[in-house]
């Protein structure tokens, strides 16, 4: 049986090709992909920028995908044909110092489906059983595909260790920022400020309960300090530019937490007064991928307690993958999903 796949060959060179479906090995699962989200990492790889990963072309990109199981290997007993599933794309080696010490996302030999192995911008994808997560009740495939970015956000929010009743600022309200707003509220935040220069994104953040801030008109730290003179307990930066990162630093109170969540340009440098970190005793955190959070993300999507529909701004067919990539980052684009 043949299927269509968007194959990445080289910088800005992707073609739709016909490939032949391979039979699953004993521990593999064949998935009929129905939806695959476009992530900043796909764009980094497509444009040949050093981002969070380096690809092994020719390869099918796309690591935020969901679909149905169509065939399972002989050793796979927990899944059957027709099961609705999504995939944790990150493959830790299991042998290195980090894997042996329980920090699999920091694995020295980390590879990923959709980066080093064929991913979800294709009608079919063959994946190791260890990476597959089943939804126990039916959800939209588009929502299911968002379990992966949600899992990454869960790790970030875990790192912040928010306490109920605390206040949060989310800087940047793309799909990730709008998920972070929701996770902050689910985690018990009493107030969430959400800043973005794009009106549509601010409107969505406001619908989700956040106080919207237009950084083109008002400085986020100024708006926050009108309400809370000390500043917020935590700031979550999801914008990817140093100016936004600086706003996050300036928004938190003494002893506050700054989570730098976005994938910045590889050569981006942040000009933060070091004395400020010392004197205000700031906690500065990074967050990398989704260690052991995919299952919780799947359960959250299943629960319906996280709003995903409003976040999906564009659905495109596989043939339009280059358009999907071109749309990424545009003001009216939030989450772009390739429907298969
Ligand atoms: Zn991603
Ligand atoms: Zn490892």
- Averaged over successive runs of 10 residues, the pLDDT of the chain (340 residues) comes to 96 96 97 97 90 86 98 97 98 98 97 97 98 97 98 98 98 98 98 98 98 97 98 97 94 98 89 94 97 97 97 98 96 97
Ligand 2 centre to CA of 110 (Å) is 6
Q: Is 322 helix (H, G, I), strand (E, B) or coil?
A: helix
Is beta strand 28-37 parallel, antiparallel or unpaired with respect to 335-339? Answer: antiparallel
- Kindly state the DSSP code that residue 91 receives in the 8-state scheme: E
Each residue of 176-227: pLDDT tens digit? 999 999 999 999 999 999 999 999 999 999 999 999 999 999 999 999 999 9
> Hunting for tokens 């690809």 — which residue is that?
55
Dist. CA 205–CA 220, nearest whole Å: 15
pLDDT for residue 54: 85
* Ligand number nearest to the C-alpha of 107: 2
CATH 3.90.180.10 residue ranges of the chain are 2-146+308-339
- Specify the pLDDT at position 265: 85
Q: How far apart are CA 202 and CA 174, in angstroms?
A: 9
Q: Omega into 58 within 30° of 0, i.e. cis?
A: yes
CA of 148 to the centre of ligand 1 (A): 7
Q: Which CATH class is domain 2-146+308-339?
A: alpha beta
For residue 225, the CA-to-ligand 2 centroid distance in Å is 44
What is the predicted pLDDT for the residue at 62? 98
Distance CA 282, CA 261 (A): 16
Q: Give the number of whichever ligand sits closest to the CA of residue 102.
A: 2
- Tell me how far the alpha carbon of residue 74 lies from the centroid of ligand 1, in angstroms: 30
Give the ligand with the smallest distance to the CA of 62: 1
pLDDT of residue 51: 65
Closest CA to 29 of 65, 79, 82, 94: 79
The architecture that CATH gives domain 151-285 is 3-Layer(aba) Sandwich (3.40)
Cα(112) to ligand 1 centroid in Å equals 11
Between the CA of 143 and the centroid of ligand 2 the distance, in Å, is: 30
132-146 burial string, b = 16+ CB within 10 Å, else e?
bbebeeebbbbbbbb
Phi, psi angle pair for 297, to nearest 5°: -65, -45
Ligand 2 centroid to Cα of residue 112, in Å, is 12
This prediction's pTM:
0.97
Q: How many CA atoms lie within 13 A of 127 on its CB side?
A: 36
Please report the DSSP string for 266-287 in residue order.
TT------HHHHHHTT-EEE--
Nearest-angstrom CA–CA distance, 176 and 18: 33
How many whole angstroms from 180 Cα to the centroid of ligand 1? 15
């Amino acid at each position: 049986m043949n299927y269509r796949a968007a194959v990445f060959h080289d910088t800005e060179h992707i073609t739709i090709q016909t490939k032949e479906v391979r039979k699953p090995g004993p521990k593999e699962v064949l998935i009929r992909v129905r939806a695959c989200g476009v992530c900043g990492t796909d764009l980094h790889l497509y444009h040949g920028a050093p981002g969070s990963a380096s690809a092994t072309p020719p390869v099918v990109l796309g690591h935020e995908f969901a679909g149905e199981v169509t065939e399972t290997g002989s050793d796979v007993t927990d899944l059957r044909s027709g099961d609705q599933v999504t995939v944790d794309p990150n493959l830790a080696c299991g042998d290195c110092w980090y894997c042996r010490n329980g920090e699999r996302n920091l694995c020295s030999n980390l590879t990923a489906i959709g980066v080093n192995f064929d991913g979800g911008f294709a009608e079919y994808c063959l994946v190791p059983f260890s990476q597959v997560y089943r939804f126990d009740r039916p959800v939209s495939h588009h929502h299911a595909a968002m379990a992966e970015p949600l899992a990454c956000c869960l790790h970030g929010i875990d790192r912040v260790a928010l306490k109920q009743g605390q206040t949060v600022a989310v800087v940047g309200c793309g799909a990730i920022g709008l998920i972070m707003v929701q996770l902050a509220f689910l985690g018990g935040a009493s107030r969430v400020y959400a800043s973005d220069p794009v009106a549509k994104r601010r409107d969505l953040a406001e619908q989700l309960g956040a106080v919207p801030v237009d950084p083109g008109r008002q400085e986020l730290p100024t708006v926050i300090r009108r309400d809370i003179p000390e500043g917020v307990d935590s700031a979550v930066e999801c914008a990817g530019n140093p100016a936004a990162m600086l706003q996050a630093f300036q928004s938190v109170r003494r002893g506050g937490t700054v989570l730098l969540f976005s994938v910045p340009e590889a050569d981006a440098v942040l000009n933060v007064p070091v004395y400020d970190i010392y004197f205000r005793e700031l906690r500065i955190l990074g967050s990398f991928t989704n260690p052991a959070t995919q299952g919780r993300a799947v359960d959250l999507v299943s629960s319906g307690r996280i709003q995903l529909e409003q976040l999906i701004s564009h659905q495109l067919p596989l043939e339009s993958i280059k358009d999907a990539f071109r749309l990424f980052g545009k003001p009216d684009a939030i989450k772009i999903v390739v429907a298969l």
